[in-house]
Amino acid sequence: MSGVEQEWPLYEIFVRGKRGLNHVHVGSLHAADDEMALRHARDVYTRRNEGVSIWAVRADAVVASSPDEKDPLFAPAGDKVYRHPTFYAIPDDVPYM
């Protein structure tokens, strides 16, 4: 069995719902290769009529921020309310703000 990985690699799965505009992370699963990851995602995450499109990404290809960096990365944005466009009137016919 030398050279055979005991565990399949992990994939992160993103699904775009029928009424959704973007792909949303729904979970993760194991698969032997990219194609199988798509099939597995179809079977595991879209069996209740949820989706119209799937992205599968190798989990080890995702670059993630570290929880240790939480304060320097995100805290500075916490008190800058003026960055939100809440001081403007939004016309009624502008969707998805």
Partner 1 sequence: MTDHHNAYDGLLGGDASQWAFGTDFEDPLAGVDTTLPEGADAAALAAYCLMLGDDALIYSHRLSEWASNAPDLEEDIALANVALDLLGQARLLLARAAAADPDAVPALPPGSPVPPEDALAFFRDEHAFRNVRLVEAENGDFAVTVVRLLVFSTYRLALVQRLATSRDPVLSAIAAKAVKELTYHRDYAGRWFLTLARGTEESRRRLVRGLDLVWPLHDELFVAHDVERLVAEQGVGVDPASVADEVDVLLEQVFSVSGLERPRLPRTGSVAGGTGRHGRHSEGMGRLLAEMQVVARAHPTGRW
Best CA proximity match to 59, nearest among 8, 11, 9 = 11
Residue ranges in 1-97 assigned as alpha helix (H): 34-45, 70-74
Binding flag, residue 29, partner 1 (CB under 8 A): yes
In the complex, minimum distance from the CB of residue 95 to partner 1, in angstroms, rounded to a whole number: 20
Sign of CA dihedral 92, 93, 95, 97: negative
Q: Should residue 9 be labelled a site residue for partner 1 when binding is judged by CB under 8 A?
A: no
Counting contacts by CB under 8 A, is residue 31 touching partner 1? Answer: yes
**Binding positions for partner 1, rule: CB under 8 A:** 1, 4, 8, 17-18, 29-32, 35-36, 39-40, 43-44, 47-51
